[in-house]
Structure 1
Amino acid sequence: MSASTLQPLGITESVAFDMIVGDLTRRSFFTGMAATTLAAAAACSTTDATDGLGNSETRTITTHYRPVEVPRSPQRVIAASYWIPFQMYAIGVRPIGVYDYSGNFDQLSPAMQEFISNVSVIGSWADLEIEAIAALQPDLIIGNAMEIDEGVFASLSRIAPTAVFSADTRADWMTILDGVADSLNQADALNGLRAEYERTVAEIAEKYLGKISEHTWASVSFGHGEGEFSLQHPDSAAGALLAAIGVEFGRAAAATGTEYSYTTYSTENFTVIDDVTLVVHPVGGRGEPLAAVEAVLAQPTFQATPAAQTGQVYGVRSLYDVNDYRAAIDALRNLEATVLAQL
């Protein structure tokens, strides 16, 4: 049995490799660029305290690294982390710059594909393009502390006010989302979606209580390399959503406290889910099979598991892309239609 770093599901293996090695290259990249590009870009971050009538044009918010003074009504926002554009979509604010999603564009939902189409690209997690960010003249940059360390934060802050948010686990996307909404001065925009999400969780948990509780569950996907599979744990975003409706996980799947909220195993070790009677796995943004997942499910060792033997294996759209209330509601409805209503 082996455990290794696993990319957030929905990110292709090539993008994931960039994410793993990125931390080794970003520091030197930003250090080298700071003396030249950032000096010229610093002027872009200047914000008047008032509008001349005594009305404040800025407000101070709490972020991961320190309090940050941000525009009261930001107009040119950079989404400098992988999931931030998705969270901005839930709030209804379109960024002017995002990561390069070309490597896994087909895995995004049609709505997200449209949302980020024709938006300027600012590089990737492994290689943020500081010149591209500065050239866009943002008045606010938003990011996640899992992807923006303190050195990068300092560099970006020379371009524009930079609000970086964090949470204890990958399951706690609500904390990040609240921070994003606060930085955009749109906290109230989430009230309706939050209430709808809570109603949806309660409805599904009650309606399908018997069907949910009669099974022991696991969330299975591809691993980091060939010949590996992964289990998502309850402290992952997908795992937390399943737990919210009362899912009981198998012994190995129920583990928590792993660095990435996933554990990867050799496909020879599918016996770790021998206590599982129902398996869910990711599919593409339109419900299409994912080749890497299909390769895992085709393994004879998986086909010998109790869930596979009884046909209790289901692909669920959106479950692995939950980072806002809208996506969570969509994932729950997909789970209901694809799995719960079929049991």
Structure 2
Amino acid sequence: MASSPLRARRSPRAVPAVLLTAGALLLAGCSTGPAGSGSAGGSGSAAEGATGEFPRTVEHVYGETTIEQAPERVATVSWVNHDVATALGVVPVGVPTTDFGANEAGSTDWFDAALEESGAEAPRTYSETDGINFEAIAALDPDVILGAYSGLTREDYDKLSEIAPVVAYPEDAVAYGTSWQDSTELIGQALGREERAREVVEDVEQQIAETAEQYPELEGTSFVYGTLDPSAADPIIAYTEVDNRPKLLTSLGMAQAEAVTGAAEGKEDEFYVTWSPENADDLVSDVFVSWAAGEDVREDIESDPLLSSIPAVADDALVLQTDEQEVLSVSAASPLSIPWALENVVPDIAEAARTAGGE
């Protein structure tokens, strides 16, 4: 498979897989519904809920896929796709397990809430730690396999296509770079639920707009969304506009730091840039949002002579996320996870924005 936007990194703290990057160990088991569930999912009324006509052809990075009739048995790979299908009224029969960012039930709060509301059975789950689980997916006898948000390789796509029609990521997107809006639109096409997809996108975008109004201090506030850890191989990483994290903050009215924008020029297919600690004080922004394995990393950052010179760190405007589910809700953004993130992630960022503004 292609490299994932969450990577495995081992530091002296034995940090689990968390960081977005290319060319590193794939963390492919970070996805959907209740891990270990033995029951098969499916809404039972999937075909009845479709408003589009079939057969239909869906375009993606590997060409075209024809879907003969409204799918009832949906399987997914990677992240996001299961959330989107469920938001559109089709609970998958099979999804990858949640190996990072899971709640105590081995799922996510947002998926569990949508599943309960749907009244459907929980999907079966399969591990993707070692790559696509072709055998488990084939055993589900799916009508379609969704990978609108994924890093499916041509080899993956061809092998999955022997099982069922496959929807890969859009031609104009990079692997793991499909926006949640485009994922929703593409999966809506595959399921014959374009109208519902438009409604879902409009609803979530309205919630984003309302959150922006709730926190006016975010408007125009510059940010770096990345990772800081003095003990890591790359002590400073900043995510580019390709990544879901900066995408969410810019949708709230914030502005990507000019330093990151400049460093990302000519790297339109890359999710992140590394930054030399020796030039840490040049990484200027009002707010810096980072992930860490534990709160103790904050002390390490603030006591580090180089990382502590980052303006947002020096100004006490560092947001250090230590909750894996918070990280997942934004890094693998979906129509289900974003409303959760607006409630659980954004308030801390807004508080840092107020601090940066002298409040």
Which of residues 193, 198, 215 is equivalent to 2:200?
A: 193
The 3-state SS of whatever aligns with 2:141 is: coil
Contact 1:90–1:324 (Cα < 8 Å) also in 2: no
Tell me if 1:246 matches 2:253.
Answer: yes
Tell me if 1:177 matches 2:184.
Answer: yes
Tell me if 1:277 matches 2:277.
Answer: no
Which of residues 161, 164, 172 is equivalent to 2:165?
A: 161
Contact 2:80–2:149 (Cα < 8 Å) also in 1: no
Taking only the aligned residue pairs, the percentage that are identical comes to 18
Query: Could you list the per-position Cα deviations for residues 150-192 of structure 1 after superposition, in whole angstroms to 9, with x for gaps in the alignment?
Result: 2221211111111212243526332122111221222222333
Tell me what 1:148 maps to: 152
Which of residues 330, 339, 342 is equivalent to 1:329?
A: 339
**How many positions carry a matched residue from both structures?**
297
The 3-state SS of whatever aligns with 1:254 is: helix
Contact 1:143–1:163 (Cα < 8 Å) also in 2: yes
Structure 1 or 2: more helix by fraction: 1
How far 1:200 sits from its partner (Å)? 3.2
Contact 2:3–2:25 (Cα < 8 Å) also in 1: no
Tell me what 1:221 maps to: 227
The alpha-carbon distance between structure 1 residues 146 and 73, as it changes in their structure 2 partners (threshold 3 A), is: closer
For 1:254 and 1:304, how far apart are their aligned partners in 2? 20
TM-score between the two structures when normalised by the length of structure 2: 0.68
Q: Which amino acid aligns with 2:135?
A: E
For 2:227 and 2:83, how far apart are their aligned partners in 1? 22
Contact 2:330–2:337 (Cα < 8 Å) also in 1: no
The alpha-carbon distance between structure 1 residues 176 and 84, as it changes in their structure 2 partners (threshold 3 A), is: same
How far 1:281 sits from its partner (Å)? 2.8
Larger Rg: 1
Contact 1:217–1:279 (Cα < 8 Å) also in 2: yes
Which of residues 85, 90, 93 is equivalent to 1:93?
A: 90
Alignment of 1:86-125 (within 5 A): 86-106=83-103, 109-112=108-111, 119-124=123-128
For 2:131 and 2:346, how far apart are their aligned partners in 1? 39
The 3-state SS of whatever aligns with 1:85 is: helix
How far 1:141 sits from its partner (Å)? 0.9
Unaligned runs of 5+ in 2: 10-15, 27-52, 355-359
Tell me what 1:62 maps to: 59
Contact 2:236–2:274 (Cα < 8 Å) also in 1: yes
Contact 1:280–1:313 (Cα < 8 Å) also in 2: yes
Unaligned runs of 5+ in 1: 24-55, 283-289
Computed over aligned residues only, the root mean square deviation of the Cα atoms, in angstroms, reads: 3.8
How far 1:222 sits from its partner (Å)? 5.2
Tell me if 1:311 matches 2:278.
Answer: no
Query: Could you list the per-position Cα deviations for residues 216-265 of structure 1 after superposition, in whole angstroms to 9, with x for gaps in the alignment?
Result: 32112258954523211223211112112322232322244343321133
How far 1:206 sits from its partner (Å)? 4.9
Alignment of 1:5-154 (within 5 A): 7-9=4-6, 13=9, 20=23, 58-106=55-103, 109-112=108-111, 119-124=123-128, 126-144=130-148, 146-154=150-158
